[in-house]
Structure 1
Amino acid sequence: MEANSREELIKQLKDTQMEVEKLLFSIKQNSTQGRDYFVMAGDQLADQLFNLRTNKDVKINSLRSKATDLLKRKDKFFKDYDVFRNDPTGFNKRHEAESAKVEKRGGARKGAGRKSLGIKKPVTITLPQERWDAIDALIKNGKFKSYPDYFRHLDSKD
């Protein structure tokens, strides 16, 4: 980025915000497919530019970094819109495919998921049928959530 001073950065952000808002106005006038995507993305970008421009306590290095990131996002936004204007159907298909990829992310990660209550050991317990019926009744009535909950309760009495 060429800007060196805070004032130059703020002017560049203001000019960029104006460009984004002009494009947004034109997008809002156009009722073709994909309009909602560009309206949402453009509104978000304009808000972020305004927030950064009006934030007085951001240090100059941080301002440069955030401004550079937002200006790159603005360039991508304008390029995407040019692609959309030339081929709305193709753009929408590619955008939907990219969105579907994001939803499939995730999977096993260290520290993720429900924390264990302890060490798991499989156990077989033999009880008379009437005792099992009584335990089932306690679970059905909501006193216990499950067999493990019932046996944990018995263990906690010690």
Structure 2
Amino acid sequence: METNSREELIKRLKDTQMEVERLLFVIKQNSTVGRDYFVEAGDRLADQLFDIRTKKDIKINSLRSKATSLINKKDKFFKDYAGFCADPIGFNKRREAEAAKVEKRGGARKGAGRKSLGIKKSVTITLPQERWDTIDDLIKNGIFKSYPDYFRHLDSKD
């Protein structure tokens, strides 16, 4: 009877060891994912700050709004990092859940979007300036929506 219980104990010990190793792997994987997230976010913040510093022709209001946006992103970065440090596994699960919500909207779907009017080919047309002025007036007055609309109309006359 003792051998049987000894074998059971050894089996339970192996099972427990496997479970601990699996949990350690999950923790290591989650911390790597979290670290990568913060490295990427830090790089994006640094790039945006560099962009603001290098653009000398930015208007003051634009610079203020960009600086405010950057400060808000920095605050979110530190808040996220504190949340990650407190609970790395929970943080990654929340991020995955948020990403899953976003991924469900938009994107390419069969049958979605504006239907094509035909085959697209790029064409360059040379016309006298007065003819272009006439076409521009027709578009400006709302008779045609655009150059393609005008030329489709000409094609439909045939």
TM-score, L = length of structure 2:
0.49
Task: Name the one with the larger helix percent.
Answer: 2
In our comparison, the structure showing a higher alpha carbon Rg is 2
